[in-house]
Chains A and B, each alone.
Chain A
């Protein structure tokens, strides 16, 4: 089955700097890669996702890149703000997997200091 590894486990950045979180996956058949943000005591929320037919997707200060050959994908947050502090989870699954069997990474605790 799919195995997703996420690094780093914790990330401290100064406000205004960029943050990068990296994930690797094992199953080359995976073709859907969402990212979730979970603030303390709150539910995970989908912030951006990418499918394997594109290499990069951007939404304001957030971008995701995908390297299918190397089987890794990354989340980039630019101009970080204190409200970006949260745990971020990457995940991977196959589009043909009808039952939404997302495999999640262990999460990255991001702390943005003013």
Chain B
């Protein structure tokens, strides 16, 4: 384990549901990230938080809403998703802001 824990590991949700993904890091890092990994596509950076402040939002639709209550916890709130949002969502953290350590991800399926 690298010290970045994501829950749940798998999630199936309908397009009208509201759900949240959780990430916790035990590494003492001060930056946390959400990435989206789709089949045969590059990892896509979604959000970056540094010292709990959001510093990056890569044109992510508003149906994805991040929350970072402290430097150790990161959430991704989901609502009214589309089937094309099905993917592996990876959380990462770093102290040296160029070497993120990844969690195992949440495999999301939108039906």
Which residues of A are interface residues toward B (Cβ below 8 A)? 4, 9, 32, 34, 36, 42-46, 49, 89, 91, 93, 95, 97-107
Beta-carbon contact of B102 and A95 below 8 Å: no
* Nearest-neighbor residue (CB-CB) of B50 within chain A: A99
Interface residue? B94 (CB, 8 A): yes
Could you show 15 A-B contacts with beta carbons less than 8 Å apart? A4-B42, A9-B40, A36-B102, A43-B90, A43-B104, A45-B2, A49-B98, A98-B50, A99-B48, A99-B97, A101-B48, A102-B43, A103-B42, A106-B41, A107-B40
In angstroms, Cα B41 to Cα A106, docked, is: 5
Beta-carbon contact of A43 and B2 below 8 Å: yes
* Shortest distance between the CB of A86 and any CB in chain B (Å): 14
In angstroms, Cα B43 to Cα A46, docked, is: 14
Residues of A within 8 A of B42 (CB): 4, 89, 103-107
8 tightest A-B contacts by CB?
A100-B97, A104-B43, A43-B102, A104-B42, A43-B104, A99-B48, A99-B55, A106-B42
In angstroms, Cα B99 to Cα A45, docked, is: 10
With known contacts A44-B90, A45-B2, A89-B43, A102–B98 Cβ distance under 8 A? yes
In angstroms, Cα B41 to Cα A4, docked, is: 12
Residues of B within 8 A of A91 (CB): 43
Residues of A within 8 A of B56 (CB): 99, 101
Which residues of B are interface residues toward A (Cβ below 8 A)? 2, 4, 31, 33, 40-43, 45, 48, 50, 55-56, 90, 94, 97-105
Give the residue among A49, A89, A102, A103 with the most B Cβ atoms within 10 A.
A102
Beta-carbon contact of B102 and A100 below 8 Å: no
* Shortest distance between the CB of A87 and any CB in chain B (Å): 10
With known contacts A9-B40, A32-B98, A49-B99, A100–B90 Cβ distance under 8 A? no
In angstroms, Cα B55 to Cα A44, docked, is: 23
Which among A98, A102, A106 is the interface contact of B45 at CB below 8 angstroms?
Answer: A102
Give the residue among A32, A36, A43, A89 with the most B Cβ atoms within 10 A.
A43
In angstroms, Cα B95 to Cα A98, docked, is: 11
